Structure 1
Amino acid sequence: MVQLADDPFELLAPMICVGSFLLMLLGPIYLPRFWILCLSGYFLTFLATQINHLVKFYMTAKCIKKTINEHNAKARRQGQESGNLVTDSDLTEMESSLINSYSSDFLVHAFVVPSYAEPEALMKDTISRIAIHKKARTNYVIILAMEISEIHHRTKSENLKEYFKDDFLQFVITNHPSDLPGEARGKGSNISYGARKGTAEMIANGIEKNRIIITICDSDSHIPELYVSEVEKAFSRSADPYNRLFAPPIFFGRNCFKVPAAVRVTDITWSSMILANLSSSRGIGFPCSTYSISYKLADQVGFWDTDADAVGEDMHMMLKCLFKTQGQARMTPIFVPINLTNVETEGYFENLKARFVQAKRHYNGVADVAYTLRSALNLPTFCVDANGVGGSPASKPKVKLDENSCTTFWFDKIIIVLKVLETHFMPVTSGWLMFFAVPLMQFVFYPPQGYGPYLDPNMNPLLTSDFHLRVWNVLKFTTLFLPLPLFGTLGIYEDLHRFIDIELFKKTRNETRTWKNYFDYVSMPIAAWMFMTLPSNIASCKRLFKARDQYIVAEKVFD
């Protein structure tokens, strides 16, 4: 395990966390001029990033609608050509039998489905939704990645293998040991073991390495056949397909009306951030939950890291691919949403608690900050090597670039670092600063009647400096606009949610979100604090201790 003495970059997350809180309290009194300028810069930067996210979210939403509309139009044309007029209600049954002109039999899709204490019924439902795809028997392999530490894992896996014995080209079961040297228990280590062992079995059975596409999915991922078709289309059209990581948007619609509004709103916000991240002109972005990668790229970078600092396995794998290939690897968005389930358990408050536990686990991905900074500066990164031994510096990438490519990659490194810092430090700081910073400054600079001045009038920048007074007025004016990009994003999301439900998943208008669900957003302040600010601060401060977490999965009730 890496200690702070080995990696001083680990200090950055707790410093940002504690520093923003202390500056919020003490900055107006001891550093008033500095703090006014810092806070103004922070709010202007925050507003700019949110406007950027709104624009990119709109672009992604348009691409999703276009992809689904083209798919549905093609389905109708094929139905008419076969002499049968196809209606929207018939498309669900047709979906598994459509022939996509971009598909071929070249690629073999290996779906890695990690499981630890997941309901067997949920696993069966998830795999069943893949089994109805047209090419499941000829070009699909299920790699069921089980954990040996789970009680009755063999019984569950054998039941599933028997149930799906005739539905796929292969059904591979891997059993990940819980005591491998240098490993931290979690999804990442299970995926790495499952992908290595599962694809090795595929290769031993005669499947060529360059044909294998590995798709990582959660136990609750509903993967439409259209997603696989779009991956194949993107692969065939790419000039460098083996250096692409294919990333879809995520969508929470399977059980969204069975969970508290605060949980729904949290996952809507999470989904919106992922969608905005997909519209990247340079192919620098991060997948979430479900994504696809060629076997050749996974093998080139040494598969998935398995130490405690790779807990956010999806973002970490993208970062690893970017740095190990010197920027040749890129993200390719696939504009087909993957339908997931919200955390669900019995009882209202128990459900909130379960979502809080999941949020803490998600924000442990702040470990990627130190990894990104070290990789960007070409310093050794401490991770588990190909033999499963942890704690040693990872080898430097073998890819060599020409001078122009090196210059371009340095520019890309700056973008990567900024994206990672924004991802992890905006949640840590925004809760405190957005709610409390300006009111506290107002109280210190202009105390109400009955309170003595906290600052000597000669030290109060608003009384002694016209420049700082103008900055203060701009700061207060800016705060009025901070929520507007979020409101715009949520407005677009509501329209997109209904579109996806009706046009892709074939729900009726009564089964999707309506105007009544706008009242969900009343719970947003609670959701922001409980599922963003607090867990992100806890995860950042934990970097001081590098404690070993228990392997806890998000609870999901499945009927």
Structure 2
Amino acid sequence: MGFLTWCSRCATGLSMLVLIGLCYWVISRESMVEQHGFKFEGTSTEGETYSSKTTSIGAGIWTLIFAYYCLLIHFMVAMFPIRACWSIWSITQSLKRGVQSRAMEVYKDAGHRRNSSSSSVASSETLASSNRNGISSTDSELSDSQSEYYVDGKDVPESPIIHAIVIPNYKEEMDTLRETLDVLASHPQAQSCYDVYLGMELRETGGESKALSLIQQFLKRFRSIDYTLHPGDIPGEAAGKGSNMAWAARKLSSKYPMSMRKNVIVTGIDADSHLSSRYFAQISNMHMIHPDTASTTLYAAPIIFDRNAHNVTALVRVADVLWCAAGMSGLYKGSAIAPPTSVYSLPLVLVDRVGGWDCDSDAIGEDLHMFIKCFFALNGHLTCRTVLSPVSQTNVTGGGKGGLRGAYLDIRARYSQALRHMWGALDSGFALRKAAAMWKDRKYTSRAFRPLHRSTSGDNLDAYFPESQVEETSEVPVDNGVFSDITRDTLKEPHWEHIFYMGHRLFEAHFLPLQMLILVVASALYTFVTEGSDDPNNLSWIFSTCNVLRTMGFMEMAVYIFLYESYHRVCVRTREKDMVQAGLADGMCFSHRSLKKNFVDYLLVPLVAPLYGAIPCAQAEIAHFWTADLQYTVSKKALRQRAKSVAVEDIA
């Protein structure tokens, strides 16, 4: 590994050391001035003598840098919850409109059957009908840009879109996988549109027999269902979801001819992810009505922990509520940068273009890593679209059976998961290297690539043909043998505005949690050591403002959790209704929330933020100085429960 590569990999850790050094230098120098009592005596213009502790012995310009950087970090911390609040509010309102639209459609259909004729109702009360794709929307509530989201799977005609759904898993419970497949199989379009691939690991004893058993059970319920066996001894690979996805994607790629590839959407989901039929219907719709960007779009959906939140300790529950905020903060309408969380979809031609998923240690956070890879492969012109169909997830559990020991196991398991999340700080270094490579190749205007299973490298730049070869192949007929599977595409100039936004989001995710903690401590020490002395640089207002911003940040997070109550309620009720209609509700739990009984969640935010944010971030960044490898452990999932819905307020 070269020195520059090492520096990029350790960018977050190096920034931590620089900041600690700056804080130490400023505080120690200012403390020295205060301790030794340096005084300056002089005479004013009126002839009066005065004395002051003002002196040039302090930290000088470094004090200014420290103070204003502290203000910047506090400002960013205060702005993030505002964006999260706006995002969750807008998504919740859109979900409510979608529920109302479907309810109105059911009412209208019932009236149509009852009267055996179509009735005319005022435009503000009816569902405007469908466009050529069979989409329904309420004209009075939805704009043209919003109408694409409100698609009910049962009403969508057969689509030419094929959804290749990959479920990477390792040592997952059979019931967990079966339940996920049950939910997918309940979708009306499953038999015509879903190609399911079980991403099994060869190192799991009995993994293949598990896959064969599931295939036998679900063979007739999907368009197709197959499995892949990922070897665990490939040189240079790191165990995890990314390497499993890479292997499965390369295998499934060979099943789709060139004529079909532009209409194949690849979706990667966790073993415990429950998706509504609306998730895939909306993607199909957006893919078809936006043909200009269909091949360069990544689809992301908000997540919701609504299955076992009532069974885990409040610290874990609040940590996942805040994790939802992190994932949802980029999913508001008009957001240019919308990194996915766990579940996402992208067209197969885009997978071809970037050379598939990476498998090394830097790619342990495969969702953000793949997003960054696609983003820079397109010079910042990646299109992000939000799927307004939240993905149901389970909170991580330590496997305890209640009590103090159970709570401890849950907290420890959630910390391990947080460490894995923060280990993704390696993606900031990955982004720096990709940005450098993009700048180096900024003059290239066209690229050529082959299908994933025909490419020889996982790196997107290496997967392209050199410019000279592109010029040569442009003279060769498309149907000519060896060149028949080459796709040539135009490459736009770098989109610097989007690149700036990407840098901001990565800084917010990987630098901000730890730097905020450092500056909170450092600003308090600085205020303490300079108390009572003069303020020659007029910096006291900065630290007073930081105190206000810090307080605002915690209050804004409380507002976010308050807005989350409504979001959670809409998601749980919608999923519960879907599962009742599918006949699967009896085997599931639905974690309903109650503001009255969940007030403790609001109080735990100041504790949860450092416990699952700054502390694991610090551990990861320090460890990156000597290793990029993390021992990947599979988080325990809540097993399928044969019980009726349990409300959070029922828990003591």
Q: TM-score range by the shorter chain?
A: 0.7 to 0.9
1:190 corresponds in structure 2 to: 244
User: Pick from 381, 393, 404: which aligns with 1:340?
Assistant: 393
- Letter paired with 2:384: M
* 8 Å CA contact retained: 1:326, 1:401: no
Tell me how far 1:361 sits from its aligned partner: 0.9
1:249 corresponds in structure 2 to: 302
CA distance in 2, matches of 1:82, 1:182: 62
User: Pick from 409, 413, 430: which aligns with 1:371?
Assistant: 430
Tell me how far 1:339 sits from its aligned partner: 0.3
Task: Check 1:171–1:277 CA distance in 2 against 1; reply closer, same or farther (3 A cut).
Answer: same
CA distance in 2, matches of 1:194, 1:419: 29
Task: Check 1:160–1:401 CA distance in 2 against 1; reply closer, same or farther (3 A cut).
Answer: closer
CA distance in 1, matches of 2:19, 2:102: 48
More moved, 2-11 vs 494-503: 2-11
User: Pick from 528, 543, 550: which aligns with 2:631?
Assistant: 550
Task: Check 1:350–1:237 CA distance in 2 against 1; reply closer, same or farther (3 A cut).
Answer: same
Counterparts of 1:350-365 in structure 2, within 5 Å, are 350-365=409-424
The structure with the greater share of residues assigned to helix is 1
Tell me how far 1:56 sits from its aligned partner: 3.1
Task: Check 1:24–1:194 CA distance in 2 against 1; reply closer, same or farther (3 A cut).
Answer: same
CA distance in 2, matches of 1:401, 1:141: 30
CA distance in 2, matches of 1:359, 1:498: 26
CA distance in 2, matches of 1:99, 1:11: 46
Normalised by the length of structure 2, the TM-score is 0.74
Cα RMSD for the two superposed structures: 3.0
1:452 corresponds in structure 2 to: none
User: Pick from 548, 552, 566: which aligns with 1:477?
Assistant: 548
* 8 Å CA contact retained: 1:103, 1:229: no
CA distance in 2, matches of 1:222, 1:310: 24
Task: Check 1:26–1:513 CA distance in 2 against 1; reply closer, same or farther (3 A cut).
Answer: farther
Tell me how far 1:430 sits from its aligned partner: 2.3
1:288 lines up with 2:341 in the alignment? yes
1:439 corresponds in structure 2 to: 524
* 8 Å CA contact retained: 2:73, 2:512: no
Task: Check 1:298–1:167 CA distance in 2 against 1; reply closer, same or farther (3 A cut).
Answer: same
1:528 corresponds in structure 2 to: 609
* 8 Å CA contact retained: 2:164, 2:195: yes
Tell me how far 1:352 sits from its aligned partner: 1.0
Tell me how far 1:364 sits from its aligned partner: 1.3
Tell me how far 1:537 sits from its aligned partner: 1.2
Aligned length: 524
Task: Check 1:298–1:466 CA distance in 2 against 1; reply closer, same or farther (3 A cut).
Answer: closer
Task: Check 1:542–1:236 CA distance in 2 against 1; reply closer, same or farther (3 A cut).
Answer: same
Tell me how far 1:536 sits from its aligned partner: 1.1
List runs of 5+ in structure 2 lacking aligned partners: 30-58, 116-150, 401-405, 441-451, 468-487, 581-588, 641-652
What SS does structure 1 have at the residue aligned with 2:330?
helix
List runs of 5+ in structure 1 lacking aligned partners: 85-96, 448-456, 458-462
Task: Check 1:390–1:283 CA distance in 2 against 1; reply closer, same or farther (3 A cut).
Answer: closer
Tell me how far 1:17 sits from its aligned partner: 2.5
1:50 corresponds in structure 2 to: 81
2:503 corresponds in structure 1 to: 417
Q: Which has the larger radius of gyration?
A: 2
1:514 corresponds in structure 2 to: 594
More moved, 474-483 vs 362-371: 474-483
2:311 corresponds in structure 1 to: 258
* 8 Å CA contact retained: 2:197, 2:227: yes
1:78 lines up with 2:109 in the alignment? yes
Tell me how far 1:218 sits from its aligned partner: 0.4
What SS does structure 2 have at the residue aligned with 1:142?
strand
User: Highest relative contact order (Cα 8 Å, sep 6+), 1 or 2?
Assistant: 1
- Letter paired with 1:429: Q
Tell me how far 1:145 sits from its aligned partner: 0.1
What SS does structure 2 have at the residue aligned with 1:537?
helix
CA distance in 2, matches of 1:545, 1:485: 38
Tell me how far 1:282 sits from its aligned partner: 4.9
- Letter paired with 2:311: K
Task: Check 1:60–1:21 CA distance in 2 against 1; reply closer, same or farther (3 A cut).
Answer: farther
User: Pick from 383, 403, 408: which aligns with 1:330?
Assistant: 383
1:227 corresponds in structure 2 to: 279
CA distance in 2, matches of 1:73, 1:241: 31
What SS does structure 2 have at the residue aligned with 1:441?
helix
Tell me how far 1:114 sits from its aligned partner: 0.5
* 8 Å CA contact retained: 2:357, 2:458: no
* 8 Å CA contact retained: 2:168, 2:270: yes
Identity %: 25
1:486 corresponds in structure 2 to: 557
